[in-house]
Amino acid sequence: MNAQTAMPLSIVILAAGQGKRMKSALAKVLQPLAGRPLLQHVLDTARSLAPADIHVVHGHGGESVMAALAEERVAWVRQAEQLGTGHAVTQALPGIPDEHMVLVLYGDVPLIRRDTLANLLALAGPKTLAVLTVLLQDPTGYGRILRDGRGRIRKIVEQKDASKRELRVREANTGIIAAPAKLLKKWLALLKNDNAQGEYYLTDIAALAAKQKFHVIPLLAPTEPEVLGVNDKLQLAQVEAAYRHDKACELMRAGVTLIDPARLDVRGTVSVGRDVQLDINVVLEGAVTLGDRVHIGPNCVIRDTEIGADTRVFANCVLDHAVVGAECRIGPFARLRPGAKLARDVHIGNFVEVKNSELGEGSKSNHLTYLGDSVIGKNVNVGAGTVTCNYDGVNKSQTHIEDRVFIGSGSMLVAPVRIGAGATIGAGSTITEDAPAEQLTLGRARQVSIPGWKRPQKEPKKKG
């Protein structure tokens, strides 16, 4: 609902641009920003305004856009011919009731903020068109905002149609507007394409509204990055940098210590406790929860993972869909795959991989080990080079290791198998049957030395 007028809100997102300057087979609005399509960011912000409906106008590559965002509950509207922004909005209007307020957004302007849009909607009303503008050091390429003596907009002139005097104006049009649907339909029906590009400009409705004595109220965007459009890979990188900066600032305001804010990527939502520290080149994806005093070392990827208080993740680790308890030590060079669940004070060391396995409190696997489809009890020590052989080429089977077990280095545990509480597995064993509790179990071939055996030799290379 529009705050000022209590009018139901309809949002129109223009996403029909071809994106030729991207030089990519991927539609422009599907280009990735922080791991998600540009259009997805706009949709998320639009939905935060609780609109009655969202209409997405698509054109070039529309089938791929709809397929990529098939789960989104939006009305897809096709713009068969690219005849300008005014024409694009017109395609969506038949599905919008006259009593609605319309907010026009762009699928390639991904950083627009909810608060800015809420303030714009608060200015719009039954007799008011609200226009979001921005002050730019270099407004080249943007339409210019021309105000009257009372500060209202009398006209918006596009770059190609502007005079030299008008080109000196630094206040630029963002294209984002809010207007009553009934008036918007009326103004769009009056648009003409007698301009340098032969297009129907949405911006021309400002002059039409002003001539008809309606209020055309500008709102200056508080920051430039949030209204930046993306038309090529250079601009995409600039927007990505702005996004990273915003996310880093959010985390620092929440009390997180960032060793270098410029070298952090947040590609999802992050919940943090107190005194969290993130080193350089950390990537946080999906839903990440970091407890009090968690330290993440350099070059780590944390994806959809929960990490408990006082845990340290050392350099070059990947944690993916894992749950890590308090006071754990992970890495360096460790990998936790989906289904990894670590209780309190678990140690996972260098070149250890854990997949779909639970490790009880105080258990350790410090070197060169694979733990897959395993249930491991408390205070277990898994020696270097141990492998839970969980896959026979068709089926996955489970390994059960009970409390206080000691697994010697280089052991192969062929699942399904159970190691009883307090058992010891001798180094170099291959275990294919259950090992009893509190006993030493060995599974080694007899060592043999062959007198007179000679290692095969390569034929010497011929000279010349």
Point out which residues pair with 36 in neighbouring strands: 33
Alpha-carbon span 177 to 131, nearest angstrom: 5
Yes or no: say if 209 and 187 are a contact pair by the CB < 8 Å rule: yes
Alpha-carbon span 372 to 369, nearest angstrom: 10
Assign residue 141 a region (left: φ > 0; alpha: ψ between -120 and 50; beta: otherwise): left
Angle between helical axes of 85-92 and 181-189 (0-180°, round to 10): 130
Q: Is it true that the peptide bond before 338 is cis, omega within 30 degrees of 0?
A: no
Whole-angstrom distance between the N-terminal and C-terminal Cα of the chain?
89
DSSP string, 173-233: EEEEEEEEHHHHHHHHHT----STT----GGGHHHHHHHTT-EEEEEE-S-SGGG----SH
Which of 316, 221, 296 is closest to 251 using CA atoms? Answer: 296
Other C-beta atoms lying within 10 Å of the C-beta of residue 450:
6
Q: Is it true that the peptide bond before 94 is cis, omega within 30 degrees of 0?
A: no
Q: Which of 60, 321, 367, 400 is catalytic?
A: 367
Alpha-carbon span 432 to 438, nearest angstrom: 18
**At 389, which amino acid appears?**
C
- The tokens for 218 are 């500008």
401 Cβ neighbours under 8 A, 6+ residues apart: 374, 375, 376, 377, 380, 382, 407, 413, 418, 419
Sign of CA dihedral 21, 24, 25, 31: negative
Instruction: Name the phi and psi angles at 204, rounded to 5.
Output: -70, -15
Q: How many residues does the chain have?
A: 464
Look at residue 405 and give its three-state secondary structure: coil
Yes or no: say if 207 and 190 are a contact pair by the CB < 8 Å rule: no
Alpha-carbon span 17 to 412, nearest angstrom: 57
Alpha-carbon span 145 to 223, nearest angstrom: 17
Look up 367 and say whether it is catalytic.
yes
Look at residue 341 and give its three-state secondary structure: strand
Q: Which residues are catalytic?
A: 367
